Amino acid sequence: MAKKSGSITYKCSNCGYSQPRWLGRCPECGEWNSLEEIILDKNAVTPAGRGTAMVEKQKPVSLQTVEAQTNTRLYTGITEFDRVLGGGAAKRSAILLGGEPGIGKSTLLLQTAANTIKTNSNQDKVLYISGEESASQIKERADRLCLNCENIQILSTSRLEDSLDAMDSINPSLVIIDSIQTIYSAEAGIIPGTVNQLKYCANEFISWVKERDSVLIMTAHVTKEGTIAGPKSLEHMVDTVISFERNNEDIRFLHAQKNRFGSVDELGIFTMTEKGLECVADPASLFLTRRTAKQPAGVACTPVFEGSRVFLVEIQALTVPAKASISRVYSEKIDSGRVARIAAVLEKRCGIVFSDQDIYINVAGGVRLAESSIDSALAAALYSARTDLAINNDTAIFGELSLAGEIRPVNKAKQRIKAGVSLGFTQVVCPEKEGIFVSTIKDLIKTVFSK
Distance, in Å, from the CA atom of 91 to the CA atom of 111, rounded to the nearest integer, reads 19
- Cβ(11)–Cβ(38) below 8 Å: yes
- How big is the CA angle at 64 (ends 61 and 68), to the nearest 5 degrees? 95
pLDDT of residue 438: 96
pLDDT digits (tens, 9 = 90+) for 341-386: 999 999 999 999 999 999 999 998 888 898 999 999 999 999 999 9
Give the number of other CB atoms < 10 A from CB of residue 328.
13
Distance, in Å, from the CA atom of 27 to the CA atom of 6, rounded to the nearest integer, reads 24
pLDDT of residue 68: 74
Tell which residue, 400, 396, 430, 427, has the closest CA to residue 285.
396
pLDDT of residue 231: 65
pLDDT of residue 311: 87
Distance, in Å, from the CA atom of 317 to the CA atom of 389, rounded to the nearest integer, reads 12
pLDDT of residue 3: 47
Low-confidence ranges of the chain (pLDDT < 70): 1-6, 40-58, 70-71, 121-122, 224-226, 229-231, 248, 451
- Give me the helix-helix angle, 135-144 and 105-119, nearest 10°: 70
Tell which residue, 309, 308, 302, has the closest CA to residue 334.
302
- Cβ(436)–Cβ(394) below 8 Å: no
pLDDT of residue 48: 39
Q: In this structure, what DSSP letter does residue 331 have?
A: E
- Cβ(324)–Cβ(304) below 8 Å: no
pLDDT of residue 49: 45
pLDDT of residue 45: 47
pLDDT of residue 221: 82
pTM, whole model, 2 decimals?
A: 0.76
* Helices (H), ranges, 351-438: 375-387, 413-422
Distance, in Å, from the CA atom of 110 to the CA atom of 145, rounded to the nearest integer, reads 9
pLDDT of residue 2: 44
pLDDT digits (tens, 9 = 90+) for 312-341: 999 999 999 998 778 899 999 999 999 999
Distance, in Å, from the CA atom of 36 to the CA atom of 25, rounded to the nearest integer, reads 11
pLDDT of residue 8: 78
List the strands of the sheet with 267-273, edge to edge: 152-156, 126-130, 174-178, 215-220, 93-99, 240-246, 251-259, 267-273, 276-279
Q: In this structure, what DSSP letter does residue 274 have?
A: T
